[in-house]
Amino acid sequence: MAFVRHGTLVADTVTSVTLPDRSLSVVEVTNRDGAAEIYFIVQDANDDPAEPEVEGDDCELLPASMNSLEVNAPDPSPAVVRLISAGTPAYSVRAE
């Protein structure tokens, strides 16, 4: 069964979504309303936290449009998805 979380970002504030401690292969992040760009990283939850930055290097980017991006989940799980935006877009995180 897939793991799914939904929310709305607060401008210029990192939001963390911790994925369950089970074998996951793909993480999909969706910009549900396209209100602003979303920058994000997916990392092993046991690593030192890395913080995404708006317009930062080494971050995945979802443009300011309704779209999604799939990335490989770190192996081993658990993983954490950290998201940030200059605006307040609605997002979804899905992992399976």
Here the CATH number for the domain that contains residue 32 is 2.60.120.380
Q: What is the pTM of this model?
A: 0.94
**With 80 as the cut, is the pLDDT of residue 81 above it?**
yes
Q: How confident is the model at residue 92 (pLDDT cuts 50, 70, 90)?
A: very high
**pLDDT of the residue at 47:** 87
Question: What is the rounded CA–CA span in Å between residue 20 and residue 60?
Answer: 21
How many CB atoms are closer than 10 A to CB 78?
Answer: 15
Residues 6+ apart with CB under 8 A from 81: 16, 17, 19, 27, 29, 40, 41, 42, 93
Tokens of 36: 């602003």
Residue with tokens 């779209």: 67
**pLDDT of the residue at 76:** 67
Q: Which domain holds residue 71?
A: 3-95
Residue whose C-alpha is closest to residue 39's, from 66, 17, 61, 16: 61
**pLDDT of the residue at 74:** 83
Number of separate domains in the chain: 1
Q: Give me the percent of the chain exceeding a pLDDT of 70.
A: 98
Per-residue pLDDT tens digits for 18-44: 998 777 889 999 999 999 999 999 998
Question: What is the rounded CA–CA span in Å between residue 71 and residue 29?
Answer: 8
